[in-house]
A and B are shown apart, each in its own frame.
Chain A
C-alpha cells in the first residue's frame, strides 16, 4: 500500500492486547490512534501507548467499553474518522456499527446487516444451508420459556449445548448430558447470557462428540472479491474457551482444505460479508473422508488471528483498514499460500492448579522472552494492574517454525523463559500441554482438555525446592524494590494520563 494513508485517525473501541495490536498497526500506517479507557485502565498499556487517550467511564464494561454513547462521544471529541472494534465488547453489535455509520464514522468491520445476519445463529444457519454448507442439528425455540427450551433439548438429543443466541467466544455456553441436568443448566445458561450480553435468548444444539474445531479466515472487499486465508485449528479449549490454536491443522488434507475453504467463501458471499471474518466448522474424523459442519461465523477479527498472519505473511489488521477505506483486496486466492507452522498460546490470569480460578493483582515482575520465531501480543507490562472486571487474557505467545514440531519446541522454550510474578497464570498448564503425547501427535479434539485436564493439573502443584527457598531468601534481603515501583504507580491521579484528550 503505497497510496496515501487510508485514514488520519482511528479510534480503537477496545482494551488489552487487541487494542495494543491495532494501535501498532495504525502507527505503522502513519495513522493516529485514539484509545478509550475505563477508570480501571487509566494506566493500562493500551491507554499509555496510543497517541490520544479518552476516558469513557467507570470500570464496569456496561458503563464503559459497552457504552455506545460514551464511545461515539469520544470519537467526536477526538475527530476520529474510523472505529476499530477489536473483538468482544461491541465488535459484533450491529447497533454499534449502525450508530458509527450514522455518526459519519467508518466502522472497520462488516456492514450492520451482515453482523445481524451472522450474529443470530438461526439466520446464520439458514444462510449456510442456502449456501449449500452442512450444519449441526439445533434450534432457537421461538418460545423461550424454560419448558420450551427443555422440550427443544429433548428433540435435538443429548448431550445438548445451551448457548446465548447473541454470544460468542464460548461465554455462557453450558452442556446438559441428561434430562436431570436440564433445569439447572437452563437457569445457569440464562443467567450468564443475560449478564454477558444483556439478552437471555438461548440456542439449543446437539453436541457432536470428539470433534475438532477448525475455522477459516475470510477477507471480503467492497468490490465483490472474497478470499479465504486458510484454516486455524482451535481444538484445545477449556470450558469452550480456546487455549492453544495453530495453523495449519494436522487434520486438514489439501482436498479437505479446498472444500472447506470454498464453503467458507460461499457462506461469506451469501451473507453479503465485508472485511475480515471467520467461518467456524466442527470436523468429525480426519483426512479426505472427514466431515465438516458449519458452526457459526464470527464477524470480527479473532483472538487467534496471529497464527494466520505468521503462516501466510498477511497482516490482517492492515488488510481490515485497507478494506474499510474502500480499497481492493491486493491478492486473489491463487496468490495466497501457507508456509511453515504457527502455534499460539493464550496466557490467562488464572490458576490452573486451583480450578482455573481467575486472578487479579499487580504484575510485580513481567519479562517477555525474545528469541527467533517468537511473537508476543501483550496487553500488559511490568507494573500493570490486572483487574477483575474484564476477560482474563493477558497475552498471546505465538511461535513459528518450519514444521509443527519446530514451532512446538520454540513455544515451549519461550514459555519456560517467561517470568510473570504477582499473579498466577496458566503457564504451567501450557507447558504441560505442549509436552503432552496427544498434543505432540496432533491427536486432539475439543474434549481433550476436559478429559485430560484433571490428570494434567494433578502434576502442577510442586512444592518449592531448596533452590527456590534460597532465591526467596536472597530476594527478601534485597527488599521489595521491584514491587515498590508498582506500589508507587498506584498513587498516580488517573486524570494525569489523559494526555492529548484536548485534540
Chain B
C-alpha cells in the first residue's frame, strides 16, 4: 500500500504510456498534452488544464453576461428577443447536435441584452449565443 507521503514517480514509456509508481503501488497511465492535457488513470479520464477555470467549452454565463455554446451545434429555435425579461431556468433557445435537442436555460433572472445567433446557424464551442443583463448574483 502507498501512503500520502510517498513520492510519485512517473516514467514515460513512449507512445502516450506512462508508468506511475507510488510506494509499492504501480499503474499504467495514458496521457496526451495539447491545448489541454488529457490523462487516463485507473479507468478514469481527466482533463488537466493550465487555466484554473477549465475548458472554454463549458456552457455558462461569464461576468459580462454572455451565454456561450457548450459544443458545436445547430441553433434550432431562439425563444426570446432582445429586451425580454427572462427567469432562471427559462429555455431561451434550443440547440441540436447529434440528433438530440439541447435546451439552453437561462442561468438566472435578467433581461436579454442581445441575441448573437439565429435559427439554423451552426455555432462553435465558446461562441456567444446571447447576452444577459441584470444582477449577476441571480
Question: Does A195 lie at the interface of the complex (its beta carbon under 8 Å from any beta carbon of B)?
Answer: yes
Choose, from A264-272, A468-476, A489-497, the stretch at the interface.
A468-476
> Which residues of the partner chain A approach B37 to less than 8 Å between Cβ atoms?
472, 475-476
B44 engages A462 (CB within 8 Å): yes
| CB 8 Å contact bits of A189-207 with B (1 = contact, 0 = none) | 0011001100000000000
Question: Does B117 lie at the interface of the complex (its beta carbon under 8 Å from any beta carbon of A)?
Answer: no
Question: Does B34 lie at the interface of the complex (its beta carbon under 8 Å from any beta carbon of A)?
Answer: yes
- Name the residue of chain A whose CB is nearest to the CB of B31: A475
* A480 and B33 in contact, given A424-B45, A470-B20, A474-B18 (Cβ under 8 angstroms): yes
> Which residues of the partner chain B approach A192 to less than 8 Å between Cβ atoms?
99, 101
Question: Does B83 lie at the interface of the complex (its beta carbon under 8 Å from any beta carbon of A)?
Answer: no
Choose, from B7-15, B106-114, B126-134, the stretch at the interface.
B7-15
* A191 and B101 in contact, given A467-B41, A472-B48, A482-B15 (Cβ under 8 angstroms): yes
Question: Does A25 lie at the interface of the complex (its beta carbon under 8 Å from any beta carbon of B)?
Answer: no
CB within 8 A of A476: which of B29, B33, B43? Answer: B33
A357 engages B48 (CB within 8 Å): no
Question: Does A75 lie at the interface of the complex (its beta carbon under 8 Å from any beta carbon of B)?
Answer: no
Closest chain A CB from B77 CB (angstroms) = 8
Question: Does B56 lie at the interface of the complex (its beta carbon under 8 Å from any beta carbon of A)?
Answer: no
Question: Does B1 lie at the interface of the complex (its beta carbon under 8 Å from any beta carbon of A)?
Answer: no
**Cα separation A473 to B9 with both chains bound (whole Å):** 11
A419 engages B30 (CB within 8 Å): yes
**Cα separation A350 to B98 with both chains bound (whole Å):** 10
- Name the residue of chain B whose CB is nearest to the CB of A382: B16
**Cα separation A171 to B15 with both chains bound (whole Å):** 39
* A365 and B32 in contact, given A427-B45, A467-B22, A474-B10 (Cβ under 8 angstroms): yes
Which bracket fits the contact residues of A? 35 or more
> Which residues of the partner chain B approach A354 to less than 8 Å between Cβ atoms?
70
Question: Does B42 lie at the interface of the complex (its beta carbon under 8 Å from any beta carbon of A)?
Answer: yes
A388 engages B71 (CB within 8 Å): yes
B32 engages A471 (CB within 8 Å): no
359-410 of chain A: CB within 8 A of chain B? 359-360, 364-365, 367, 388-392
Question: Does A447 lie at the interface of the complex (its beta carbon under 8 Å from any beta carbon of B)?
Answer: no
Question: Does B76 lie at the interface of the complex (its beta carbon under 8 Å from any beta carbon of A)?
Answer: yes
> Which residues of the partner chain A approach B76 to less than 8 Å between Cβ atoms?
191, 195
B99 engages A365 (CB within 8 Å): no
Closest chain B CB from A450 CB (angstroms) = 15
> Which residues of the partner chain A approach B67 to less than 8 Å between Cβ atoms?
none
B31 engages A171 (CB within 8 Å): no
- Name the residue of chain B whose CB is nearest to the CB of A412: B43
Question: Does B102 lie at the interface of the complex (its beta carbon under 8 Å from any beta carbon of A)?
Answer: yes
CB within 8 A of B46: which of A358, A367, A464? Answer: A464
Question: Does A417 lie at the interface of the complex (its beta carbon under 8 Å from any beta carbon of B)?
Answer: yes
**Residue from A358, A359, A360, A417 with most neighbouring chain B CB atoms (10 Å):** A358
CB within 8 A of B48: which of A367, A419, A468, A483? Answer: A468
> Which residues of the partner chain B approach A482 to less than 8 Å between Cβ atoms?
15-16, 32
Question: Does A131 lie at the interface of the complex (its beta carbon under 8 Å from any beta carbon of B)?
Answer: no
A428 engages B48 (CB within 8 Å): no
* A171 and B99 in contact, given A425-B45, A470-B8, A471-B31 (Cβ under 8 angstroms): yes
B8 engages A467 (CB within 8 Å): yes
> Which residues of the partner chain A approach B16 to less than 8 Å between Cβ atoms?
365, 421, 475, 481-482
* A392 and B12 in contact, given A367-B30, A421-B38, A467-B41 (Cβ under 8 angstroms): no
> Which residues of the partner chain B approach A479 to less than 8 Å between Cβ atoms?
33
B45 engages A358 (CB within 8 Å): no
A357 engages B33 (CB within 8 Å): no
> Which residues of the partner chain A approach B96 to less than 8 Å between Cβ atoms?
195
**Cα separation A479 to B33 with both chains bound (whole Å):** 6
Question: Does A10 lie at the interface of the complex (its beta carbon under 8 Å from any beta carbon of B)?
Answer: no
B46 engages A468 (CB within 8 Å): yes
> Which residues of the partner chain A approach B34 to less than 8 Å between Cβ atoms?
364, 480, 483
> Which residues of the partner chain B approach A477 to less than 8 Å between Cβ atoms?
12
B44 engages A475 (CB within 8 Å): no
- Name the residue of chain B whose CB is nearest to the CB of A462: B44
B45 engages A420 (CB within 8 Å): yes
**Residue from A359, A367, A467 with most neighbouring chain B CB atoms (10 Å):** A467
**Cα separation A428 to B41 with both chains bound (whole Å):** 12
Question: Does A177 lie at the interface of the complex (its beta carbon under 8 Å from any beta carbon of B)?
Answer: no
210-261 of chain A: CB within 8 A of chain B? 239
**Cα separation A358 to B57 with both chains bound (whole Å):** 12
A188 engages B101 (CB within 8 Å): yes
Closest chain A CB from B33 CB (angstroms) = 4
67-82 of chain A: CB within 8 A of chain B? none
A483 engages B33 (CB within 8 Å): yes
> Which residues of the partner chain B approach A13 to less than 8 Å between Cβ atoms?
none
Closest chain B CB from A69 CB (angstroms) = 22
Given contacts A422-B38, A472-B46, 15 further A-B contacts (CB under 8 A): A357-B102, A360-B71, A364-B34, A367-B30, A390-B98, A392-B98, A420-B40, A428-B45, A431-B43, A466-B8, A471-B29, A471-B39, A474-B18, A475-B37, A475-B39
A-B CB proximity, top 4 nearest: A416-B43, A475-B31, A419-B40, A421-B38
| 13 A-B interface contacts by CB (under 8 A) | A358-B98, A360-B72, A360-B97, A365-B38, A391-B98, A422-B38, A462-B44, A464-B39, A467-B22, A467-B41, A471-B10, A471-B18, A473-B10
